[in-house]
Structure 1
Amino acid sequence: MGSGVAQSLAQSGLQTVLVDLSEEKLQQSRASISEQLRFRSLFQPSAKDVEPSDAVMDRITFTTDYELVADASFIIENVTENWEVKKEVYERLDPLCHEETIFMVNTSCISITKVASLTRRPDKVIGTHFMNPVPVKKTVEVIRGYHTSEACIASVGSLLEQMGKDMIVVQDYPGFVSNRISHLFMNEAAYVVQDQVASPDEVDEIFKKCYGHAMGPLETADLIGLDTVVHSLTVLYESFQDSKFRCCPLLKKMVDAGLYGRKSGQGFYQY
């Protein structure tokens, strides 16, 4: 997700700093972006996209050094869906960045208001839930935290417009709109497979051919990462205390086995 956001920013002509934990992760990100740029003309055959891939890559700085984002106008955070990890990131970023920097939280389910409480700038913290693959998805679910200002929303709207994206602004409740609904969808699809009602490809084919979905729920889960799906369901269950968000045991078993989906090479499907 972070690589896709960086690619989308750089394609829009924006200087971008991509921060990750290790040189190995950065190399993976660099390779992923480079590959996506080579094939982007197949999906976005507009005049803007004839710019050479090297020119786009030159706008991205790959680093493990947080100091390089100190002067950024916007921080778009894409770390794993784990509260303790996010907490550590914002505790590092808040004193480092200048006071006008806007923090854009790309989260599946975690409260934007809760994230804002970690900072001294709650009015400049906003949820921006990008969809995969980021460079080709034209709409972003934007989440207004309790303290998010209208000026912050307007600034983020201008940035997204520069990236060629629209926004739909919703209120801050766990899962917001897209994931509160879609994770129920994916979770129940996993139960259907667990109960041997249908195979993964049969489940997905029904939703693609009968309902016209571009991807089935289990293909989507593999794309997101089954570990991320399980983390998000855990957040939803703990937030609402509602049994409908109880994670399917099959999903937990697959994650324990290291079957995360596309990023591990196997999930409900092999890649």
Structure 2
Amino acid sequence: MKYQIHEDDEDTRKAKVGDVMSIHLKLKNSTDSVLRDTQKEGTPMKLILQVAPFKGSFEEGLAMLSKNDSATFYVNSDSLFSKSMQAPPPGIAKGSDIAFTVKVVDVQSEEEFTKAQAAQQEKQKGVDDKIITDYVAKNKLATKKTALGVYYVVNQAGSGANAAKGDVVKVKYTGKLLDGKVFDSSNNNPQSAAGVDFPLGAGMAIPGWEEGLTQFSKGGKGTIIIPSPLAYGDKGAGGVIPPNAVIMFDVEVVDVKKGAAAQAPGMAPGGR
């Protein structure tokens, strides 16, 4: 392992296999070109520390660090990509070293991480609820709120029973941020313009999407407003949905096929 320690906090415990590490990472090739920089992305990456797959691996370096430490590790590209069974991407020369510069933001056990995540989500739900209620009041929307905290308004009532877990719904939709910026729409693709088939309860989408659709029946039209913990959380998505963003969908439920989820091949927006 070739490495350089920049900061060493001796008062915090070193990471061990199974710990969840939050780190900022700057990745450079042998010509000093930056391949990735999470500082510029704005959010630390989280990973579970694994057993080092080979001598001189990135994981071996991470196991040397604790919270607040920073270091640069130089990992041989041949070793890295031969073990991962992947071809080196453009910009990585055969036999060269890849520089991993790491700043450790936090080190937590799995239990500590789970508790912290739950606490953060509860806090964020309160923040988002205030954002949503202000938006609803400003736009004079006649919304209702589900038990999970999803807001919705039915502009046109459908017929029959509401969609439920195990059903397949065909939905036309437009996904937007609260400022009106569209990030996805079934109208973007001719194949989905008539609606997207989606099995409810199969875990194929963000929780708020599934929760919201259960408030509609066949022919129903309306809007679903989803707090960030039930959407894309503190990671955001696709470079178009910021971290901790409340999102909304204008929807039209074209059809509801009761109990047909097992046969449905489709995928809805918000896929995990």
TM-score (norm: length of structure 2):
0.24
Greater helix fraction, Structure 1 or Structure 2: 1
Larger radius of gyration: 2
Greater strand fraction, Structure 1 or Structure 2: 2
